[in-house]
Structure formats: structure tokens, C-alpha cells
């Protein structure tokens, strides 16, 4: 009788199969839990000097397909306002979530770590809660502001500001230097060169951002990638193909290319930022030809930056991380294109204070929008809520995430901002601005009724019937203004 040996592998196979199946199930559960527990990435896109000059904001002449794509897939805030209409101060206020005051976040050359010493900035808060934080381009006004909040040294492209490509532009710059005895002397305010996108700084910035997205997507921790584009900040340098989108003979001057009726002198500035450029007169208006050239250059730069933003959005899709990434796009303040005889920012009119703000976040239906009033100090708490982070106690803003869920909610009564000696409040219907001297004494005021005067062409503050409204808005403004730093 032959004894048949039993194959131990045959006996163990059913047991092994059960064990393997249990392990696989357990691993799948862990993976699913890990995926669910992993916080969303953040792509934080800042655009310098960008007013809502975009098709998704009703500007039908604009070519902005990529920003429009973001708006269609996300949420558009129709009435968002910066808190300070100048680069350094606006960014410092947004990144700290603190209101400006007479002695805080005042001007162009502003550092968050100096004006709000000891405050945890937005990027630092995300880094403290497990995010890998990266800064490319212009995020804070000074790249070395708040270095501790970044996981890597902030990166800037070469020639980010005055990257002229044409010999005639460089010659004009040198000639302006020779002629100018005092103050800044810069090159021409516009340039169109028939070059590829990466010949100018923002094209190289986009390329770096795309590469970094691929690198960061491989990390175990979520990322907070801040990308700050330089255009449409002066000088208006963009490849020719973007200028060609806007034929010169189709550029029009604004309807209110004049000073508002009864506006005080305190409200009108000399746009010194533009006057430093070659070919711009040191006083008085620019010619109509120059005005149209400036407007066309601004439009071209908006479309150039839009194309770079498109590269980032495409990268998110290509890498398969779009659905796991919060995307925020914001312009640090508005910009004047001749309205009220003004250029640049630096004022308390709607054109300087109103800004674009778009948010796309996992779990929200695409294509939402609201005309509720929101402020840039609201960005910090909103991003925290979207990412599931706790809110630091120092914040002055309010999360607008409930608005993204229900755009019709009753919301803020006002958006409040200031620039130098002007404090301004925007309610649903009115904008009221008060100007004071260094001692805080009253100098002048403005009141515009947006229901009948949306372009702010007639200051009605000195009309007798406006006095009760002046008092009411002044009280509301003073109650909501940022408090001075403790002494």
C-alpha cells in the first residue's frame, strides 16, 4: 500500500488566502482612511495690480480664458475688497489676517514681520500644521519677509521687475537716468517683444511652478504652494502675441477720464509711480495716445498672466491632484486706468479697492458666485476652514466658507480699508471716505451713492441732505477700523 504524502502548500493555501485577503482589506481601509485624513493641498496664486479686468467679471473685451475656467469650476466673489491699496501693505494685511491702522500696514515698503511682530502668518500657520510651504515670485512684497514660514528659501525669477528685452527700451532707460537729477528714473512703461512666454519673468515663474507642482505632488505631506505673478504691474512688458489680442484702434479711454465733481484734493494723487518711467511727463496728464497705449499694455499683461495661470491649472489636471487641491486666486489691490484722471493705485476709490477673488475647493459645486461684501482679511480664516485647520486668535477677518455653501446668506454690512490719511468704508450702497491730518483731525470727505453713481463721479458728501448719512457711515467706519498697535 502506497502512502501518499500530503503537500503542506495545499493545506496552507486556503488559510493563506484568508490571511492575505484580510491584510489586503486592512491595507485598503488604512489607505482610504489616510486619503480621507490627508488635508487638501493649496495653490495660492497672487497677481500684482490685478483689478477685476477679466471676462468672468463682465469685462467683455478681455481675453482671460484660464482665469475664467477657474471661475467656472470654482466660486467667484463679485464684491471683494483689499484693505490697503498698495502692494506691501495689502499683502502684509492679507497674510496676517489683521486690519491696517494708522501705524500698521501703511505703505509700499511694508514688512509683515515688522508691522505685526509675533503674529503667525498664513503660510507659517499652514507649516505649523503639517504643510510643506513654498514661495515662488512675489508673495510677500519682500521675498525675505517671514522666512520662517517657508519650508524652502523663497524663489524669484531673474529680472523680475525691469526685464526689458528690446535695445530701444534699455536706451530709453539710460537716457531717463541721465536726465533725471532726483528720484527714480526707470525705462519705458510698455514693451512688446515678439518672444516666447519664458523670455519675460512670469513665463519662467510659471515653468518653475509647474515643475514644483510635480515635485510637491510626490511628497507625503500636503503642500501650500504660493505663486506670485508680477504682471500686470508696471512696466507693462508682455510678448507681442498678447498685445495683438487688443488692436490699438479699439482701445478706448474711460468714460470718466476726469476728476469727480466736488472731490477733495486729498482724494486725487499725482500717480508718481508712473511718472518715474521714461516718456511720462513729471506733471500734468499724459497724452491720449499714451493713455491708450497704457491701457492696451495693461490688458496685454493681464492676458499674458492669464496664460501662465493656465499652465498651473493644466498641471494640476495632468498630475491628477486637481480634486485634492484648493486653488485661490487674488489680486493684491485694484488699479486705475485713467478713471478720475488717475493711474496706478494709492487711493480710496472703488477702482483701487475692489479686487478679483476666486476660490476652487474640493467638495463645492462649480460655478458659484456671490455679491456679498468680503475683505482680504477674510482669506486667512477661510483657508483655515477649507483645510480643516484651527483658527488663530489674532484674526480680524471672518471665514467666507458659509457663503460658498449658501451665496444668498446675509453677510457683512461693510468692507473697510485705508490708505495713508484716508479711511474708507464700502457698504452695499455707499462708499464713504474720510481724510484726516497727522493729528487725526478732519480734513475732507467723500460720499458716493453706488445705486445711482457706480463709477463714483459725483461726491455728494457736502449736500445738506447727506449729513445724517455722513454721520452714520462715519460712526460705522470708526467702529470697524483697525486699532493702533499697543504701546
Nearest to 222 by CA among 77, 26, 405, 362: 362
Query: What is the torsion angle, in degrees rounded to the nearest 10, for the CA atoms of residue 286, residue 354, residue 52 and residue 394?
Result: 130
Strand-pair category, 190-193 with 325-331: unpaired
Per-residue cell: 250: 479699439
**What percentage of residues in the chain have a pLDDT greater than 70?**
92
Instruction: Give bridge partners of residue 414 from the DSSP assignment.
Output: 427
State the cell numbers at 207. 515653468
Bridging pattern class, strands 132-137 and 223-229: parallel
Based on DSSP, count helices (H) and strands (E) in the chain, helices before strands: 14, 15
Q: What DSSP letter does each residue of 81-115 carry, written as one string?
A: E-SSSSHHHHHHHHHHT---BTTBS-SSS--HHHH
Average pLDDT over residues 236-249: 98
Q: How many CA atoms lie within 13 A of 29 on its CB side?
A: 6
> What kind and span of H or E run contains 430?
strand 430-436
The per-residue pLDDT for 485 is 65
Going from the C-alpha of 194 to that of each of 84, 175, 197, 198, 457, the distances in angstroms are: 36, 24, 10, 12, 39
pLDDT in tens, 250-306: 999 999 999 999 999 999 999 999 999 999 999 999 999 999 999 999 999 999 999
Rounded Cα–Cα distance for residues 310 and 306 (Å): 6
What percent of the chain is modeled with pLDDT above 90?
84
DSSP string spanning 178-243? HH--SS-----SEEEES--GGGSHHHHHHHHHHHHHHHHTTSSS-EEEEEEE-TTSSSEEEEHHHH
Kindly state the helix (H) or strand (E) to which residue 479 belongs, with its residue range: helix 467-480
- Pick from 149, 41, 137: which is nearest to 95 by CA? 149
User: Is the bond leading into 235 cis (omega within 30 degrees of zero)?
Assistant: yes
Q: Are 54 and 337 in contact (CB under 8 A)?
A: no
Cα–Cα distance, 93 to 221 (Å, whole number): 27
pLDDT tier for residue 428 given thresholds of 50, 70 and 90 = very high
- Give me the DSSP letters along 317-341: HHHT-GGGEEEEEEESS--EESGGG
Burial of 2 per CB tally in 10 Å (0-12, 13-18, 19+): exposed
* Residue 315, CA distances (Å) to 206, 268, 304 in order: 10, 43, 17
pTM above 0.85?
yes
How do residues 372-420 score in pLDDT, each as one tens digit?
999 999 999 999 999 999 999 999 999 999 999 999 999 999 999 999 9
- In order of 125, 162, 222, 484, the CA distances from 140 in angstroms are 15, 19, 21, 22
- Per residue in 106-151, pLDDT tens? 877 888 999 899 999 999 999 999 999 999 999 998 888 899 999 9
DSSP state of 126: H
> What pLDDT was estimated at residue 186?
96
How many CA atoms lie within 13 Å of 126's alpha carbon, on the beta-carbon side? 32
Mean pLDDT of 25-52: 72
- Beta strands 75-81 and 368-375, pairing class: parallel
Q: What is the pLDDT of residues 187-229, one digit of tens each?
A: 999 999 999 999 999 999 999 999 999 999 999 999 999 999 9
pLDDT band at 182 (very low <50, low <70, confident <90, very high): confident
Residues recognised as catalytic = 87, 141
Q: Can you list the domains of the chain with their CATH numbers?
A: 39-404 (3.40.720.10)
Residue range 15-37: mean pLDDT, rounded = 44
Q: Which pLDDT score, from 0 to 100, does residue 37 have? A: 66
Q: Nearest-CA neighbor of 325 among 44, 96, 66? A: 44
Task: Give buried/exposed letters for 175-184 (b at 16+ CB in 10 A, else e).
Answer: ebeeeeeeee
For residue 185, give the C-alpha cell: 528714473
Cα–Cα distance measured from residue 22 to residue 155, given in angstroms and rounded to the nearest whole number: 47
**Using an 8 Å Cβ cutoff, are 425 and 414 in contact?**
yes
Give the burial string for 353-384 (b: 16+ CB within 10 Å, else e): bbbbbbbbbeebeeebbbebbbbbbbbbbbbb
Query: In the structure, what pLDDT confidence band is assigned to residue 34 with cuts at 50, 70 and 90?
Result: very low
Q: What is the largest CA-CA distance in the chain?
A: 122
Amino acid at each position: 500500500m502506497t502512502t501518499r504524502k500530503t503537500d503542506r502548500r495545499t493545506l496552507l493555501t486556503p488559510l493563506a488566502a484568508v490571511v492575505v485577503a484580510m491584510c489586503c482589506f486592512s491595507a485598503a481601509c488604512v489607505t482610504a482612511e489616510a486619503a480621507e485624513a490627508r488635508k487638501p493641498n493649496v495653490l495660492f496664486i497672487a497677481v500684482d495690480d490685478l483689478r477685476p479686468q477679466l471676462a468672468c467679471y463682465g469685462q467683455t473685451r478681455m481675453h482671460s480664458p484660464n482665469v475664467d475656467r477657474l471661475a467656472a469650476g470654482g466660486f467667484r466673489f463679485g464684491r471683494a475688497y483689499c484693505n490697503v491699496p498698495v502692494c506691501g501693505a495689502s499683502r502684509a494685511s492679507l497674510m496676517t489676517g489683521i486690519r491696517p491702522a494708522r501705524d500698521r500696514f501703511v505703505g509700499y515698503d511694508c514688512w509683515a514681520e515688522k508691522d505685526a511682530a509675533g503674529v503667525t502668518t498664513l503660510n507659517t500657520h499652514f507649516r505649523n500644521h503639517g504643510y510643506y510651504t513654498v514661495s515662488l515670485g512675489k508673495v510677500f512684497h519682500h521675498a525675505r519677509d517671514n522666512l520662517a514660514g517657508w519650508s524652502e528659501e523663497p524663489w524669484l525669477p531673474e529680472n523680475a521687475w525691469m526685464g526689458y528685452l528690446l535695445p530701444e527700451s534699455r536706451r530709453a532707460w539710460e537716457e531717463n537716468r541721465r536726465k533725471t537729477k532726483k528720484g527714480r528714473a526707470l525705462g519705458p512703461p510698455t514693451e512688446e517683444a515678439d518672444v516666447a512666454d519664458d523670455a519675460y519673468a512670469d513665463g519662467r515663474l510659471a515653468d518653475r511652478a509647474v515643475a514644483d507642482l510635480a515635485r510637491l505632488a510626490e511628497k507625503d505631506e500636503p503642500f501650500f504652494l504660493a505663486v506670485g505673478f508680477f504682471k500686470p504691474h508696471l512696466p507693462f512688458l508682455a510678448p507681442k502675441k498678447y498685445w495683438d489680442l487688443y488692436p490699438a484702434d479699439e482701445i478706448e479711454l474711460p468714460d470718466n477720464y476726469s476728476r469727480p465733481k466736488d472731490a477733495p484734493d486729498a482724494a486725487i494723487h499725482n500717480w508718481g509711480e508712473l511718472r518715474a518711467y521714461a516718456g511720462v511727463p513729471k506733471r500734468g496728464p499724459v497724452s491720449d495716445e499714451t493713455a491708450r497705449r497704457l491701457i492696451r499694455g495693461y490688458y496685454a499683461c493681464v492676458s499674458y498672466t492669464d496664460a501662465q495661470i493656465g499652465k498651473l491649472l493644466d498641471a494640476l489636471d495632468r498630475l491628477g491632484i486637481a480634486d485634492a487641491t484648493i486653488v485661490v486666486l487674488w489680486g493684491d489691490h485694484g488699479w486705475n486706468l485713467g478713471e478720475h484722471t488717475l493711474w496706478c493705485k494709492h487711493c480710496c476709490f472703488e477702482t483701487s479697492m475692489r479686487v478679483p477673488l476666486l476660490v476652487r475647493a474640493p467638495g463645492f459645486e462649480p460655478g458659484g458666485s456671490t455679491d456679498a461684501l468680503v475683505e482680504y482679511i477674510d482669506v486667512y480664516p477661510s483657508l483655515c476652514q477649507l483645510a480643516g485647520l484651527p483658527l488663530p486668535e489674532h484674526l480680524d477677518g471672518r471665514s467666507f466658507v458659509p457663503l460658498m455653501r449658501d451665496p444668498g446668506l446675509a453677510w457683512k454690512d461693510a468692507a473697510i480699508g485705508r490708505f495713508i490719511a484716508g479711511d474708507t468704508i464700502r457698504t452695499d450702497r455707499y462708499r464713504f471716505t474720510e481724510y484726516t491730518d497727522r493729528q487725526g483731525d478732519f480734513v475732507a470727505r467723500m460720499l458716493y451713492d453706488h445705486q445711482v453713481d457706480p463709477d463714483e463721479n459725483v461726491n455728494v458728501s457736502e449736500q445738506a441732505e447727506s449729513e445724517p448719512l455722513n454721520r452714520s457711515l462715519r460712526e460705522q467706519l470708526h467702529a470697524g477700523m483697525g486699532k493702533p498697535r499697543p504701546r
